[in-house]
Amino acid sequence: MSESLFDKIGGEGAVDAAVDIFYRKVLNDDSIAHFFDDTDMDGQIAKQKSFLTMAFGGPNEYTGTDMRKAHAPLVEKGLNESHFGAVAGHLQATLQELGVPEELTNEVMAIAGSTHDDVLGL
């Protein structure tokens, strides 16, 4: 049996390593920080963690409907294409910072990209 994407990246350990770097980048980006700037930092970190787990091809309970429902309030606040692109950029930069090989990064970005329509409510 071939190793899964999640295992190749480094499993849960990789998610733990990535979550702080990724969330810091997002909060430091003024164009998107307000979507993530909740006083409930634990909740926010938990959300980033489950997002990264999904993007890394790990075990998750996300469905398209969940994605749609979870992001609907943000779409109402003006979440659009450019914000989606910014978050994707931070994800890519996080993976580069962690030294994830290019072909794995591409796979992760493809999974993240597949959420596009649900996240933006299209």
Binding residues vs other proteins (CB under 8 A): 19-20, 23-24, 27-28, 39, 41-43, 45
For tokens 């075990």, what's the residue?
A: 59
Minimum distance from residue 20 beta carbon to other proteins (Å): 5
* Minimum CB distance to other proteins smaller for 40 or for 103: 40
Distance in angstroms (rounded) separating the CA atoms of residues 93 and 105: 10
DSSP-assigned letter for residue 39: S
How many angstroms from the chain centroid is the CA of residue 119?
11
* Minimum CB distance to other proteins smaller for 45 or for 104: 45
Minimum distance from residue 40 beta carbon to other proteins (Å): 9
* Minimum CB distance to other proteins smaller for 24 or for 34: 24
Identify the burial level of 47 via C-beta atoms within 10 angstroms of its C-beta, where 0-12 means exposed, 13-18 middle and 19 or more buried.
middle
